[in-house]
Amino acid sequence: MEQESTQCDGCQCWLHQHCIQMTNMQYVHFSAPHLQFYCRHCLFSSDGIYNFSGALSRIAVLSPDVNLMQLRADSELNILVL
């Protein structure tokens, strides 16, 4: 059985949609070219707290291009609702 999968833009691991409990709607949503996806390992500390510093670093690296920074911020926001 073939499963849809997505690649983490942080660690480059491939994850099955079913294994990470991603709905079909979320899968299609994250297929948008400007959205990035990060796995839980890349987003959370070992104690399960979201790494806001990492998110801000991913956004800041795109400075001074405000448009790219906004797109990255959109990706971060979408990941939080996953």
Identify the three-state secondary structure at position 7.
Answer: strand
d(CA 61, CA 22): 28
pLDDT digit string, tens, across residues 34-73 = 778 888 888 888 888 888 888 899 899 999 999 999 988 9
Q: What is the pTM of this model?
A: 0.72
Q: Which two tokens stand for residue 2?
A: 């073939």
Residue 73 near residue 59 (C-beta atoms within 8 A): yes
Nearest to 19 by CA among 34, 35, 8: 8
pLDDT in tens, 12-23: 999 999 898 888
